[in-house]
Amino acid sequence: MRTVQADSAGLEAAVEVLLGGGVAVIPTDTVYGLAAHPDFPAAVARLYSIKTRSARKPIALLASGRDGAERFIGTGAASFGSRYWPGALTVVANDEGVRVPNHEWTRELIARCGGALRVTSANMSGMRPATDALAALADVGLSADIVVDGGVSPGGEASTVVSVTAGGALSVLRHGPVKFLTLASGSPRRAKILRGLGVDFVVEKSDVPEVSRPDDPEGTVRANALAKGAVALGGGMGHVLSADTIVWFNGRIYGKPRDLNEARTFLRELSGNVHSVFTGVAYDGDVRIVRSDVKFRRLDKVLIEDYVARVKPTDRAGAYDIDESGDLIVESWTGSYENIMGLPVESLREWGIVG
């Protein structure tokens, strides 16, 4: 084992060790790390042995940039991560977790080693992470091939860890410094609107009981939006967006039908008439109420059966979706189209969520 400085000479020495299948202690933007090249399984196995780390716990990667991350998590996830890198965000996809550190010397080292390294904190499992080379040396450094002294690392909060699906859906696995908008709704239509606007968000479904006040549609959506958002806000998840949408006609609230038979009933009753769509949308407890009016075509039995078979609208208020085969049943509307879908964009602009 030898100790070098985090300068050009130390860079050359660390590159030689890592490309030779060795193990290095290196500085990062958080704590000191124990690193090995991912193409050397024996070197990666040494990381587990040195730390006495459980083999069931994967070791994430540090990448030099988007290109280095793509090899492991794919183009889509790497493209998403690059909006926050370098920094304290670990992106998980394809059973791999990757982060780009905000440390210039370390990124150069990683780039010289091919774009990615397996890196775990330079301490024994369960012990306090080392924030300087001396502490790392005392804990695990004597078992490494080289220790790079980069001064005192800032330490701080562990990175936010978020998984990214092939479709771009996000799920926070560990909360940390990077915060995302939380959508307190499982509605695919609200998610579609946010993705279309380029908003990064995570979904936290809220199963709170909903109120229904036929004589007060605005109060109904207000109360339900606030109740849904309150659960996520109480969890300390950062900014929270929640919403509730109802169809209101002839003094009655049409929520989600219990089954397809009730969906058919809803469509027959709304046929040829003008109804109102109310959405209450809340952002960190601040509420906006938006109304749109929709006129249905006259729907005969054949058209209703065709629509129900296509859309199966049991998860839609009023048993319809203007954005999915809506032209079959909707003659016209006034107000916000997105409000009828369940999330008025004008409110998002008022809060600065979108430009």
Catalytic residue numbers read 244
Q: Is the CB of residue 99 less than 8 Å from the CB of residue 158?
A: no
User: Going by C-beta distance under 8 Å and a sequence separation of 6 or more, which residues neighbour residue 203?
Assistant: 169, 170, 171, 182, 183, 185, 186, 191
Separation CA 201–CA 178 (nearest Å): 12
Neighbouring CB atoms inside 10 A of 284's CB total 14
Q: Is the CB of residue 104 less than 8 Å from the CB of residue 64?
A: no
Separation CA 94–CA 72 (nearest Å): 7
User: Going by C-beta distance under 8 Å and a sequence separation of 6 or more, which residues neighbour residue 177?
Assistant: 87, 88, 156, 157, 159, 160
Instruction: Tell me the two tokens of residue 239.
Output: 């900014």
Residue 67 identity: D
H helices present in the chain, as ranges: 8-19, 41-51, 66-81, 104-112, 133-139, 188-196, 217-234, 260-270, 301-311, 337-341, 345-350
Separation CA 138–CA 142 (nearest Å): 7
Residue 111 identity: A
Neighbouring CB atoms inside 10 A of 216's CB total 14
Neighbouring CB atoms inside 10 A of 86's CB total 19
